[in-house]
Structure 1
Amino acid sequence: MVYERARTRPFLILIPLLIGAAVSVALGIWGSVHTPTGEVPWANPFPSIYAFKVWLALGVLLLAAVQLVTALWMYEKFGLRRRPWVGPVHRTSGFLAFIVSLPVAAACLWALGFQTYSARVLTHSILGCIFYGAFVAKILVLHSKRLPGWALPAVAGLLLATVVGVITSSALYYIATFGLPK
């Protein structure tokens, strides 16, 4: 649903963005100082940590696609009338994408840590941290009535871009290199 906003103050977008940046930096620092375990006890029944991460990341990517389509539908970008079920589908798919992403991110940070040994891995580490900061910023913007109407789509676009970047630099790279995990 598109909300009627009170008198907007565009500069206030800095607050959720700075809070999101703080979350991103905190995750990156923790991932850098934590000693990686190399193991993920919660990855069973998958045969490997990589199979676990790839399959769940593909689920997140599918849910992100549902998010994009339902958001565009809610903003009437398809020329279709808004339907009463589109908003609940959008919120549910967003909630599920976030929930499914958590064990993957925990596996990355816990078992592998913040890695920098190649450009792809560094990009993945950075985007993974930014994703959760962008998520926090989106939730804060979503609940604000003082931000301009463009703020929510802009922050949601950042969130979508980071999730696509994270999954491209990991799961899709893995599939392109090794094929689908069994």
Structure 2
Amino acid sequence: MADTAAPPTAPKSMAVPLTAFAVGGVVALLLGIFSKVHDPTLDGTTTLGYSNVLAMKTVVAVVIGVLAVGQVIGALWIYGKLPIKAPSWLGKAHRAGGTLVLLLSVFVGYHCLWSVGWETGVTDTGYHVPARTIVHEILGCIVFGAIVVKIVAVRSKRAPGWFLPLAGGLLFTLLIAAVLTSAAYYIGDNGWPSRA
């Protein structure tokens, strides 16, 4: 008679989230250091037809924010937290949406780090960098650390059950905070960005 017992599951380990948070912290720190020592330049950047890099980043950041809200709704639906049964295609759509958020975040993050860099205190021209900008810079670096944590959470079979929702919630919160400290501020001051 064949053994029909389910294969043993890997034991859950706190080492997975602890390692993920440590690596994510290192990624965030390294991005912060790079953006501080890098001389900002517009070389190698694009405006995608908008009037400037900040306008383009604003539009893409709003798209990221909308997609992030969709990701949370999708996750709640997939895990049965909404009163409607999730369709079979939702898992694939959720993964594709997450990949798109990641790619767009890397695109915006590159343009932030490369074209703007890290601004603190008073610039060479005497401009006083507002606290909102500094908070945004910190959030932007931490977002990429949180992306690392979320990828580990999605891929790990040995992480505790609370790790994936915590990683997803943390990433969502940081993304929305980054959008609010940049795109929402830009739109409030300048209106919706126009094409060049």
TM-score (normalised: structure 1): 0.92
Report the counterpart of residue 104 of structure 1 in structure 2: 108
Aligned residue in 1 for 2:163: 151
**Counterparts of 2:16 and 2:179, CA distance in 1:** 30
More helix by share: 1
CA contact (8 A) 1:5 1:149 kept: no
Structure 1 residue 39: Cα displacement: 5.5
Unmatched 5+ residue regions in structure 2?
Answer: 1-7, 121-128
Which of the residues 171, 175, 179 maps onto 2:187? 175
- C-alpha separation between the residues in 2 aligned to 1:38 and 1:162? 26
**CA positional deviation for 1:5:** 6.1
Contact 1:58 1:171 in 2 (8 A): yes
Shift of 1:98: 1.1
In the alignment, is residue 15 of structure 1 matched against residue 27 of structure 2? Answer: no
Q: Which residue of 1 aligns with 2:86?
A: 82
Match of 2:71 in 1: 67
How far 1:61 moved relative to its partner? 0.8
Deviation at 1:40, TM superposition (A): 5.6
| Alignment match of 1:49 (pick from 42, 47, 53) | 53
1:124 correspondence with 2:136: yes
Q: Which runs of 4+ in 1 moved over 4 A?
A: none
SS of structure 1 residue aligned to 2:110 = helix
Q: Which has the higher mean CA deviation after the structures are superposed, 111-120 or 84-93?
A: 111-120
Amino-acid identity (%): 37
Check whether the contact 2:16–2:156 (CA below 8 A) recurs between aligned residues. Answer: no
TM-score, normalised relative to structure 2: 0.86
Task: Find the structure with the greater CA-based Rg.
Answer: 2
Unaligned runs of 5+ in 1: none
Bigger shift: residues 44-53 or 31-40:
31-40
- The Cα RMSD (Å) is 1.6
Report deviation, 1:142.
1.2
